[in-house]
C-alpha cells in the first residue's frame, strides 16, 4: 500500500497498469480516491507476464514466488522497504521519483516535508512529555519506528520504549495504566467499540487517564506510510503540540 501511495501521488493514472488490493483502503490510504478507477492486482507472476510493465514496484510484502520470478527473469523492478525515520522517508521518496521518471515531483514532495518540519521545530521543545501512540486492538508503535521519530522531532518521547517495544506490538490495558504516559496519540477522535482496539479506548480507566486534553490525533492515512502525506501529519502535530504544552 505504501508503494501504491507514492505511485498515485507522483505518476499520472494513464501510466499505471495496476495497484495492490489495499490501494483503495479509505482508512489507511492517503490517496484512496485516486485508486478507485484503477485495476487492483493480486501480485502474481502471471499478471506481470500479461501486463508487460516497463517497471514493477515491489514492497517487502510481495509474494516471495513473484519476487523470485521477477528477479530470475531480469524484469525491470525497484524494491522498497518500510522506513523508520523521516530521513529514510525523504530518501525513499527521492529514489522512487527517480525510478518512475518523476524526480522533480519527488523533490517537491521532500521540500514540502522540510517546510513542515521547519514549522514543527519552531514549535517543538524538549518538553519531556511522554506520548504513547495507540492504535486498534492495543497496538503501539515502538522505539524504532517512523512514528517514534516523528514524536522525537516534536520534542516528545515515545512511551512505548519504556515497555521495551522496538518495532511495534500489542499492549494490554493493564500495561497502559501502569505505564501512565502523559498523553496518547490515537488515529481519530470518533472512536467506537467496533473492534478490540477501539473498545479499549472506551474503558473507564482510559477515559479517566486520558481525557481529550491529554490526547493527540493523527489519521492513520497520514502515518501508516512514509510518503508525501507526512507534510500534513507534521503540520497537524505541530498545531496540537503547541496546545498540549500549554495544558
What is the tens place of the pLDDT at every residue in 186-211? 987 545 555 555 778 788 999 899 99
Domain boundary among 35, 53, 81: 81
User: Residue 72 sits in which domain range?
Assistant: 2-81
126 and 194 co-located in one domain: yes
So what's the pLDDT on residue 126? 60
Q: Model's pTM, two decimal places?
A: 0.91
29 and 128 co-located in one domain: no
Task: Answer yes or no: is pLDDT of 131 > 80.
Answer: yes
Choice among 39-43, 134-138, 162-166 with the minimum mean pLDDT:
134-138
135 and 238 co-located in one domain: yes
> How many domains are there within the chain?
2
C-alpha cell at 32: 484512496
27 and 77 co-located in one domain: yes
140 and 219 co-located in one domain: yes
What is the tens place of the pLDDT at every residue in 88-112? 999 999 999 999 999 999 999 999 9
159 and 50 co-located in one domain: no
What is the tens place of the pLDDT at every residue in 38-85? 999 999 999 999 999 999 999 888 889 999 999 999 999 999 999 999
Judge whether 188 lies within some domain. yes
So what's the pLDDT on residue 60? 81
132 and 183 co-located in one domain: yes
Mean pLDDT computed over every residue of the chain: 90
Judge whether 125 lies within some domain. yes
Amino acid at each position: 500500500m505504501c508503494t501504491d501511495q507514492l505511485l498515485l501521488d507522483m505518476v499520472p493514472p494513464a501510466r499505471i497498469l495496476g495497484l495492490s488490493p489495499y490501494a483503495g483502503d479509505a482508512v489507511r490510504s492517503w490517496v484512496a480516491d485516486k485508486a478507485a478507477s484503477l485495476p487492483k492486482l493480486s501480485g502474481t507472476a502471471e499478471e506481470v507476464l500479461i501486463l508487460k510493465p516497463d517497471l514493477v514496484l515491489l514492497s517487502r510484502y510481495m509474494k516471495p514466488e513473484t519476487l523470485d520470478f521477477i528477479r530470475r527473469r531480469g524484469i525491470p523492478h525497484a524494491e522498497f522497504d518500510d522506513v523508520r525515520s523521516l530521513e529514510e522517508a525523504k530518501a525513499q521518496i527521492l529514489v522512487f521519483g527517480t525510478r518512475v521518471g518523476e524526480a522533480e515531483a519527488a523533490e517537491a514532495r521532500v521540500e514540502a516535508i522540510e517546510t513542515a518540519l521547519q514549522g514543527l521545530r519552531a514549535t517543538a521543545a524538549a518538553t519531556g512529555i511522554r506520548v504513547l501512540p495507540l492504535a486498534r486492538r492495543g497496538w503501539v508503535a515502538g522505539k524504532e519506528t517512523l512514528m517514534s521519530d516523528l514524536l522525537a522531532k516534536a520534542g516528545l518521547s515515545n512511551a512505548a520504549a519504556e515497555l521495551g517495544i522496538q518495532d511495534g506490538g500489542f499492549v494490554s490495558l493493564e500495561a497502559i495504566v501502569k505505564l501512565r504516559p502523559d498523553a496518547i496519540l490515537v488515529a481519530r477522535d470518533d472512536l467506537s467499540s467496533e473492534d478490540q482496539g477501539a473498545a479499549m479506548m472506551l474503558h473507564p480507566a482510559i477515559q479517566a487517564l486520558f481525557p481529550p486534553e491529554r490526547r493527540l490525533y493523527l489519521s492513520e492515512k497520514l502515518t501508516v506510510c512514509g510518503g508525501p502525506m507526512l507534510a500534513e501529519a507534521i503540520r497537524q502535530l505541530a498545531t496540537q503540540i503547541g496546545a498540549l504544552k500549554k495544558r
